[in-house]
Amino acid sequence: MAAFTPHRASDSENCSSSNVQQRLQQVTHAVVVIFLEFFAWGLLTTPMLTVLRDVFPQHTFLMNGLVQGVKGFLSFLSAPLIGALSDIWGRKSFLLMTVFFTCAPIPFMKISPWWYFALISVSGIFAVTFSVIFAYVADITEEHERSTAYGLVSATFAASLVTSPAIGVYLSGQYGDSLVVLVATVIAVADIAFVFFVVPESLPDKMRLTSWGFPISWEQADPFASLRRVGKDTTVLLICVTVFLSYLPEAGQYSSFFLYLRQVIEFSPAAITGFIAMVGILSIVAQTVFFGVLMRTIGKKNTVLLGLAFQLFQLVWYGFGSEPWMMWAAGTVAAMSSITFPAISALVSHSASPDQQGVAQGMITGIRGLCNGLGPALYGFIFFLFNVELNEGEPMAGRSTASTQKLVVPGPPFLFGACSVIFALVVAFFIPERHQLAEVKTCTANKAGSSSAAHAQNGSPLAVPISDTEDLEPLLQDSVM
């Protein structure tokens, strides 16, 4: 019998190695989907600014904020529903749907600009790719691998922006915006085809069959009902408020920063693409190297706090910086702040049960979608309020004397964002550690009593006593229970 022991050990090791390789391959699928989608949109950085100026010549960024606001609000409304449905019907079909509708407006940039902006607004209903991707990654990875996988996915977003804006500027200068839109459309179609033909389903059949026995209610998919449940759970409330306060300035910054560099700081197009590439490369390093080390050494909560501290520093620097070198220096800090969202996603995923990953990530993505609507409009309004015009083509020398206040505070919206991040830091500080969360769950489980035991006989992770539904934590349920 002893002679067979090494053989059995070898078989076990081979099986384990095969499982790891399979998980790595499936994470690669998620990485490719994210890269292609945002690479296609990155190509359109310059053409998008041109279309914005042509369609909305007056108060360009106020109108951009309105368009993005509709998109963000629709994303906020739809994210919980899409996340909950993907928990039941699987990730692939919803991943295909989100990628298709997110990329659908691209060809209309040249076909009909008005239809382009209309479709961008409506596409917010399905613009929750990150929600489905993070749930997909949670399905295919072990808990100890999840933080690294989230960092890799987030780094892929940064990697897609390293070269795509520069390529878009080059193609636009040599061949015109029409070719750029065509190339972006082809890449978007390739992404849709990749999801359809290559990406496998991640949610196990047995989990989907179990979930089918307990279909979701409209209350579960209602974003406002989710917000009401959030208020009854301290941990979920703290996480969601942190996401809102930290991502609100980030969304506004992303919508206006490139044109701000060009018009106020007087960056050349080449300098802007170089800046994007630098921040993208450093973000990849931060999210693949430093992120994993920080998660292992200081933990999820402290990683979130560190990321918020970097974000606060770079926003203050952007707000008071008036020279190009200041922007370059602040960009290095901005790259380190990119660890915040994958750390928050890992914190949520670490606490949510396997069958609730889509709901949890959908809720976080929905809040980010709301910020994507409020942030651009808020930044545009503050720029307008402080007489910092961002309309393309207005020379710096031709501005009024009143606008010379920009020499003291060139970027007022960034200082507002810094104030928001200060509040986010304070809120995040009170997010409890995992063992504290487990204690709350234990008390809640005891409170449910024998009714929970009766429902447990159904063998479903979704089975909860109807009378105690409001007492149970809606999202952060311990995966070991």
Q: Which of 68-77, 199-208, 290-299, 472-481 has the lowest mean pLDDT?
A: 472-481
Mean pLDDT of the chain: 74
Higher local confidence (pLDDT), 305 or 392: 305
Say whether pLDDT at 426 is over 90: yes
pLDDT tens digits for range 221-264: 666 665 665 666 677 778 888 999 999 998 888 777 877 887 77
Of 95, 346, 102, which is closest to residue 196 (Cα–Cα)? 95
pLDDT tens digits, residue range 400-425?
A: 444 434 446 678 889 999 999 999 99
44 pLDDT more than 70: yes
Nearest partner of 58 among 293, 391, 473, judged by Cα: 391
Closest CA relative to residue 160, chosen from 322, 284, 335: 284
Q: Rounded distance, CA 393 to CA 387, Å?
A: 16
Res 283: pLDDT: 85
Q: Residue 307: its pLDDT value, please?
A: 92
Query: What's the token pair of residue 32?
Result: 């490719």
Quickly tell me which residue has 């600009």 as its tokens: 113
Tokens representing 270 are: 């080449």
**78-136 pLDDT tens trace:** 777 787 788 778 888 889 999 999 999 999 988 888 888 888 888 888 877 877 888 88
Q: What is the pLDDT of residue 96?
A: 92
pLDDT band at 396 (very low <50, low <70, confident <90, very high): very low
> 336 Cβ partners below 8 Å, 6+ apart?
282, 286, 290, 307, 310
Say what the pLDDT of residue 413 is. 87
Of 380, 381, 378, nearest to 420 by C-alpha is 378
Q: What is the tens place of the pLDDT at every residue in 284-341?
A: 888 888 888 888 888 888 999 999 999 999 999 988 888 888 889 888 888 888 888 8
What DSSP character marks residue 472?
Answer: S
